[in-house]
Amino acid sequence: MSQQSASAHEVAGHFFRHEGAKVVAALTAHLGAHRLQLAEDVVQEALLRALQTWSYHGVPDNPAAWLTQVAKNLAINALQREQRWNEKQDGIATERERWLSTPADDVTHETFADDTLRMMFVCFHPELAAEAQTALALRTLCGFSPAEIATAFLTSEAAIAKRLVRARQRIRELALPFAVPEPTELSSRLSGVLHTLYLLFNEGYKASSGDRLVREDLCHEAIRLVALLTEHPATREPRAFALLALMLLNAARLSARTDDAGNLLRLHEQDRTDWDHAMIQRGIASLHLAAQGFTLSVYHIEASIAATHCTAPDASATNWPRILLLYDQLLALTGSPVTAMNRAVAVARVHGAQLGLDALDGIKQRTSLESYHLYHAIRGAFAAELGQVAAALTSFRQAENLATLPAERDFIARRIEECGGTKA
């Protein structure tokens, strides 16, 4: 029992979450994607048994093998209860039985990496709705419970549970293979995977609401999964490195975005010593790896913008002309009004607030921005800089009406006070 403290150390980080997810992937590799639910159930039970056993005596020498073995045994029991198991002893069933009965300590890191990659291509299959993809990924690849996913997406546990059931059902109906797509298909499928991970990251990165730790967890899980893609020979493409860089360079500044009271801080108000400089270094290194190759993805440009902010020693030293240039490129690629809005901020930093306002007025699909609180907040900031107090107050009040999160409303209320206005 003297080993207790050492044992506790062994299960640091998110051991239960991530080891559990690995075993789900390994089981699904041998049982088939249609048995995802069974794999998840036996792994949940295996984790529960780990909790009950390890709590007394500490963690076994090879905890991952222990978990896999218990999950395999539970899977055999469950399959033997199914009649078909004994009736159809064809080649596949025999092979499956052989694997399930083999001791679990022969599992290599490479096998786990392969299985996890295959699981990613199942979870992020284009035939599944985007929200089903992210929920399924958090459940099976990241080991979140439905309740934890519900907290992250500000919805009910029942809604998430339903979403998961439907997703698994869809996997069975479509008989999705547990495999990495063929080379001809891989490129477009990888685009989908990267895009969903990008959305997952943004979900966590969005202005603080709900549980901040849960949201940061989402960001770190998205980073972990993209990092897996950059480590696997089949998917280590420049755009994957670019997305990883983008995530790291933004996540590094997460904790500096709010002050101790939870107030949102603007870039120039943030304490840059609070930024995670080790993560920034990782991001810059990843951006260098992304530069190999001839494609320039949206992720490359967004990562470069983030890198420009991260490498400025203070706000006044920010290379805004470079950021404006990057926004020009990004706008040419996406044509999105939100990109055009962000570009206007860079315009104002380089050429002054009046040209920033002109840039906002010049956005073609401006109507789609009218319902976005940030659009009005930016207009208000430009007007305030130009000394147009009345116009600034009008814009800030519109922004205040449209903002939904308390932290956002407080942020805008502070801008109104700065203009000499009173709280609405």
**Is 412:400 a contact under the CB 8 Å cutoff?**
yes
Q: Is 354 in the site for other proteins (CB under 8 A)?
A: no
CB of 27: closest distance to other proteins in angstroms? 15
User: For residues 9 and 84, which CB has a smaller minimum distance to other proteins in the complex?
Assistant: 9
Q: Is 53 in the site for other proteins (CB under 8 A)?
A: yes
Total of residues contacting other proteins (CB under 8 A): 30
Amino acid identity of residue 330, one-letter, is: L
The span from the CA of 407 to the CA of 287, in Å, is 32
Q: Which of 47, 10, 11 is nearest to 27 (CA)?
A: 47
Site string for other proteins, 31-50 (x = CB under 8 A): -------------x--xxxx
User: For residues 14 and 322, which CB has a smaller minimum distance to other proteins in the complex?
Assistant: 14
**Is 394:376 a contact under the CB 8 Å cutoff?**
no
CB of 423: closest distance to other proteins in angstroms? 39
Q: Is 145 in the site for other proteins (CB under 8 A)?
A: yes
Residue 77, token pair as written in the block: 């029991």
Q: Is 147 in the site for other proteins (CB under 8 A)?
A: yes
Q: Is 204 in the site for other proteins (CB under 8 A)?
A: no
Q: Is 143 in the site for other proteins (CB under 8 A)?
A: yes
Stated length of the chain: 424
CB of 181: closest distance to other proteins in angstroms? 29
Q: Which of 252, 251, 228, 250 is nearest to 240 (CA)?
A: 228
CA angle centred on 172, ends 167 and 176, rounded to 5°: 90
User: For residues 111 and 145, which CB has a smaller minimum distance to other proteins in the complex?
Assistant: 145
DSSP string of 82-117, one letter each residue: SHHHHH---HHHHHHHHHHHS-GGG--HHHHHHHHH
Spatial CB neighbours of 73, under 8 Å, sequence gap ≥ 6: none
Q: Is 15 in the site for other proteins (CB under 8 A)?
A: yes
**Is 168:41 a contact under the CB 8 Å cutoff?**
no
CA atoms within 13 A on the CB side of 22: 23
Phi and psi at 202, nearest 5°, equal -60, -35
Q: Is 224 in the site for other proteins (CB under 8 A)?
A: no
* H/E run at residue 29: helix 15-31
Amino acid identity of residue 296, one-letter, is: L
Identified binder of other proteins from the candidate list 39, 71, 148, 193, rule CB under 8 A: 148
Identified binder of other proteins from the candidate list 66, 112, 144, 396, rule CB under 8 A: 144
User: For residues 25 and 324, which CB has a smaller minimum distance to other proteins in the complex?
Assistant: 25
Q: Is 24 in the site for other proteins (CB under 8 A)?
A: no
User: For residues 221 and 408, which CB has a smaller minimum distance to other proteins in the complex?
Assistant: 221
The SS3 assignment for 186 reads: helix
**Is 256:274 a contact under the CB 8 Å cutoff?**
yes
Q: Is 99 in the site for other proteins (CB under 8 A)?
A: no
The SS3 assignment for 404 reads: coil
CB of 4: closest distance to other proteins in angstroms? 5
User: For residues 51 and 92, which CB has a smaller minimum distance to other proteins in the complex?
Assistant: 51
CB of 354: closest distance to other proteins in angstroms? 51
Q: Is 16 in the site for other proteins (CB under 8 A)?
A: yes
Stretch that binds other proteins, among 2-10, 168-176, 258-266, 318-326 (CB under 8 A): 2-10
Binding site for other proteins (CB under 8 A): 1-2, 4-5, 7-8, 11, 14-17, 20, 44, 47-58, 143-145, 147-148
